[in-house]
Amino acid sequence: MLDVNHIRKDFPILSRTIYGKPLVYLDNAATSQKPTSVIQSLVDYYESYNSNIHRGVHTLSMEATDRHEDARSKCTRFIGAKEDKSLIMVRNTTEAINLVAQTWGKHNISAGDEILTTHMEHHSNLVPWQKLAEQNGASLQFIELDEDGMLNLSNIDDLITERTKLLALTHMSNVLGTINPVKELTAVAHKMGAKVLIDGAQSVPHMKVDVTDLDCDFFAFSGHKMLAPTGIGVLYVKPEILESMEPFLFGGDMVSQVWDDTATWNDLPWKFEAGTPNIADLIGLGAAIDYLESLGMDQVREHEMALTGYALEQFDRLNDIKVFGPKDLSKRGGVISFHSDDVHPHDMGTMLDREGIAIRTGHHCAMPLTRKLSVVATARASFYIYNTEEEVDKLTAAIRATLDYFAK
Amino acid sequence: MLDVNHIRKDFPILSRTIYGKPLVYLDNAATSQKPTSVIQSLVDYYESYNSNIHRGVHTLSMEATDRHEDARSKCTRFIGAKEDKSLIMVRNTTEAINLVAQTWGKHNISAGDEILTTHMEHHSNLVPWQKLAEQNGASLQFIELDEDGMLNLSNIDDLITERTKLLALTHMSNVLGTINPVKELTAVAHKMGAKVLIDGAQSVPHMKVDVTDLDCDFFAFSGHKMLAPTGIGVLYVKPEILESMEPFLFGGDMVSQVWDDTATWNDLPWKFEAGTPNIADLIGLGAAIDYLESLGMDQVREHEMALTGYALEQFDRLNDIKVFGPKDLSKRGGVISFHSDDVHPHDMGTMLDREGIAIRTGHHCAMPLTRKLSVVATARASFYIYNTEEEVDKLTAAIRATLDYFAK
Amino acid sequence: MSSPTFDFSEVDDLYQEIILDHYRSPRNQKEIPESDMDVTGINPFCGDEVHMRIKLSGESISAVSFSGNGCSISQASASMLSDIIKGKSLDEANNLYVDFRDMMHGNDLNEDSMDNLGQAEALSGVKKFPIRIKCALLAWSALGDAVKKHKSE
Amino acid sequence: MSSPTFDFSEVDDLYQEIILDHYRSPRNQKEIPESDMDVTGINPFCGDEVHMRIKLSGESISAVSFSGNGCSISQASASMLSDIIKGKSLDEANNLYVDFRDMMHGNDLNEDSMDNLGQAEALSGVKKFPIRIKCALLAWSALGDAVKKHKSE
Ligand SMILES: Cc1ncc(COP(=O)(O)O)c(C=O)c1O
Ligand SMILES: Cc1ncc(COP(=O)(O)O)c(C=O)c1O
């Protein structure tokens, strides 16, 4: 069990008040808050060993390089990858997926090929494939959802065919909370010769992930949703695929030798990291991983399952509120999207904000899914390690009060 | 005149020692150190209003959005741009230039066209054009350098022709210190119908820049070289060009509406900012600009000119050391690259490091230039607002001692 | 679970009765068959949408229809707007937009301008909720853009 | 300007006489006309380069030539290596690389291994300058890679 009271002390922002009320931060699927150790890792970096990396012979540069590459190794271990050179540092999940689309995708997806994805993707795992399909004459296919917001896999053998070159799907939905059977789907896709990209933006922060066990080809996640600073994300690529990929961005650090008209590329992973990297924030991501590992990812998952279970019970008592996503706790994460016919999510958000409760409202960057749910927008509460049952009570009470207010 | 003693107190890292000696940080062209106000801006962000932006109705999200967009406005003002929507936030100068190459460049440079650049470019302003030229069947042309490391413009009318679609050049060389006559060259290029991209990575941190006055079409710079955090950079594009440019990365935040197979784009500048941005570090860049503006960019430039003048005099007394770049102080910035036939720059760097002096050695990501200088590598000292004549004395004394050591 | 008490009094400024009324029963929903100006406002970040069709006779607005999807503020604001501009000239409509924008940005309006805004004055309470100002403005700035475009054609 | 005193005593471990001698007068510079193995090591970050051409008779190295460009450590190390491997079998050469790498990573070597490294033992002082370890290793790991490649062909 997580010692949540203890954890809360590590997050300075949680002592903030909003309109005089203690902050109840339930917008974790958008971005997480940061513990002191992560914030301090940035301060330490800038106060004592800030330097550009890789190319310096002086002490600061060596220290910064070592800590930067150490942090990469932490990421490697954390997601169960085998080699540091499989991990490319990017800004966020979105850039990671674009990198795959514009390098591997551009050269391996041709006219007539299919890209299979789902109806629960974040725009970041949809629009890059739309663009690629358009550029290369390929087409997109979709795995449909069932009533509970889980993938309908009954016709999966018709969907994954020899035309399928890529299966791109999310590990956990940021709207429904659904955890998809990515390992099983990867096996099916591989049998048909397709590669698999997993959008791990919502899974890596909340559960143990092992990319080697999943056997996926590409895996993307963002630091900012897992206690780390903004501006840093990770793309994992299977080594044998990465070896064959063309660079994405060109410039300093990613080259080996440069002449007037041509250049050769640096070793992996630097071949994919052009220009001065986001050094401090990768080090911050390393500190975030230290923090999560000190809690244990199984404990994190357990805490969120318990809290989600409690919240779903409370929501159940709120009549007039529809909750989306799977009912089975083992198949969902700590994201609860809900809807009322009487109060627009936006108005719900404003009312809750007055009580210090931060939720997200809108299409959550998943418009096709929102449309499937037959709503214009939803309200979403999402949990993390520092959230409590008491906060869930505040949330449901405030929702109740809002419903009453609008019914007046 | 800058009050350097006062300024030094704002930079915590300057009280650090290396091998028991006070740090003498002369690697500013690689990256600058950060004042407390910038570090504190990150701490404030994460401790009191960290949130994802743009799409939230809650207080934290509003505060974060406001401060993020405020910081963009500071950048707009700082470089003399007219509209916030002309500024796209990227990771660094390198990404900014790649963005131009892969969007505007891809659609506007065709077979037979020429891209004109110079022999003093950083790889980041060369390799993206090599790649574009290769992809689109265009060719690269080069403005040569004269003895002093200044652009040889005697044959500029032969070089800029109606085949020239783009002039891509650096505002200030990171090896020679040369400040190029970018305004004049922009006018010449425009007369022939070419667009102009200026790499401002070395100019914006050190002198007043006004992109409207320069009249350039594209302008790129990095935060980390101007007191700001790593991971944030800026691309300015003239509004009328930006309007016509296709997006670069696809995903969340850059879309307006998304359907299964297609999407429409958000307004400028967000159309070019896919996924969760590096919110904290842009706010940090805003704080860096506040700091620089409080000093005054003219004062900054004056301080560096004086220090560079002093250093060049001291270097003059070191026989056996060749110094590259213009002799005229008004035509150069505070970057001094030097070379000894007897001590390899790498060894020089190690010896100086033992004295606490951080310089950079190698090809400085400008291999074609290094080759032109007929050396394998150079050593480079580069100055900023916190450097002093006393530090220059330490540098030249240590170089002298190193030369003696290797002559033993 | 002890029942907390909520103080929504500040919120009353935002959700005035007249606003909720326009939200629940938006005006001018009957689509006009032929239009001279189509006005579309979309907030890409939150997904709110308003669409208006405008029929002109000469330079003056003879009929308006409105449809949309979104929060109470964006929809009520659009509904109010669709009522107010009927019978106005395009210049007057644009002035209304300018006045309304000024009001939202906290500028004091003179009495005439206030009068012209009619029921939309109720939206002045949105000022205190800065993040919702965009919602209130959605239809109005779309109208402003459409008038500008129409005039330049 | 008062003349500071410099304490370069630590640096003496790095820049031993024998190392500077190899740097100033690198061995085996005469290019051999025909080679069986070409070895290239480049450090992309700093630009140091070493090239070796190797002639085999059977599995044993009969001639070596070396050229390169870079800092004293990378060049001296390569020069030493080019001396040591002459007459060795490819397996022995690879073992030398492994031993040298172990030494650089701070592992203790047994006496035999130490003996085999010969003059290159002088490079053990580089350990204390972690950032220069890559310089010392450049030629050796390039050789290791080349042997592996040769064997797999
Ligand atoms: C002139 C010049 N251009 C471009 C760059 C690349 O900047 P960044 O590494 O921040 O992308 C640099 C800095 O290394 C530079 O000095
Ligand atoms: C499932 C999913 N994929 C992708 C993203 C995009 O992440 P980022 O904005 O960090 O690129 C998000 C977060 O918004 C997400 O929830």
B259 contacts in A (CB within 8 Å)?
367-368, 371
Confidence of residue C2 (pLDDT cuts 50, 70, 90): very low
- Block residue for tokens 């630091």: A223
CA-to-CA distance for A67 and A293, rounded, in angstroms?
18
CA of A278 to the centre of ligand 2 (A): 19
Quote the tokens at residue A70. 């150490």
Distance CA A313, CA A330 (A): 15
As a whole number, the mean pLDDT across chain B is 97
pLDDT at C7: 79
Residue of A nearest to C71 (CA): A344
Closest partner residue to B347 (CB to CB) among D10, D45, D72 is D72
* Domains of chain C and any CATH numbers: 27-152 (3.90.1010.10)
Strands A322-323, B357-358: pairing kind: unpaired
CB contact under 8 A, A354 and C1: no
- What is the model's pLDDT at position C3? 55
Partner-chain contact B363 D47, CB within 8 Å: yes
Residue pLDDT, tens place only, B325-342: 999 999 999 999 999 999
Residues of chain A predicted below pLDDT 70: none
Amino acid, single-letter form, for residue A104: W
pLDDT tens by residue, A251-271: 999 999 999 999 999 999 999
Is A365 labeled as catalytic in the residue annotation? yes
Query: CATH 3.40.640.10: which residues of chain A?
Result: 39-293
Contacts of B252 in chain C (CB under 8 A): none
Q: Does B55 sit within 8 Å of C46, measured CB to CB? A: yes
CATH code assigned to A4-30+296-407: 3.90.1150.10
Q: Where in chain A is the domain with CATH 3.90.1150.10?
A: 4-30+296-407
Give the number of C-alpha atoms closer than 13 A to the C-alpha of residue B114, restricted to the C-beta side. 17
Identify whether the C-beta of residue C42 lies closer than 8 Å to the C-beta of residue C49.
yes
Q: Which ligand is nearest to the CA of A174?
A: 2
To test the contact with chain A by mutation, choose from C17, C25, C46, C74 the residue with the greatest count of A C-beta atoms within 10 A, namely: C46
How does A366-385 read in b/e, with b if 16+ C-beta sit within 10 Å? Answer: bbbbbebbebbbbbbbbbbb
Q: Which residues of C touch B49 (CB under 8 A)?
A: none
Give the distance from residue D110's alpha carbon to the nearest chain A alpha carbon, in angstroms: 29
Q: How far is the CA of A53 from the centre of ligand 1 (A)?
A: 13
Q: ipTM above 0.90?
A: yes
With CB atoms and an 8 Å threshold, state whether B54 touches C45.
yes
Nearest chain B Cα distance for residue D71, angstroms: 5
B294-305 tens-digit pLDDT: 999 999 999 999
Q: Which residue out of B115, B169, B365, B392 is catalytically annotated?
A: B365
CB contact under 8 A, A275 and B46: no
Ligand 2 atom closest to Cα of A174? 16
Please report residues of C whose CB lies closer than 8 A to that of A377: 46-47, 70
**Which residue is catalytic, options A245, A365, A366, A398?**
A365
Mean of pLDDT over chain A: 97
Q: Is B61 on the interface with C (CB under 8 A)?
A: yes
Is any Cβ of chain B less than 8 angstroms from the Cβ of D3? Answer: yes
Look-up of token digits 């450049």: D138
pLDDT tens digits, one per residue of A105-158: 999 999 999 999 999 999 999 999 999 999 999 999 999 999 999 999 999 999
Residue range A39-293, CATH number: 3.40.640.10
DSSP per-residue string spanning A212-260: HHHT-SEEEEESTTTTSPTT-EEEEE-HHHHHHPPPSS-STTSEEEE-S
**pLDDT tier for residue D2 given thresholds of 50, 70 and 90:** very low
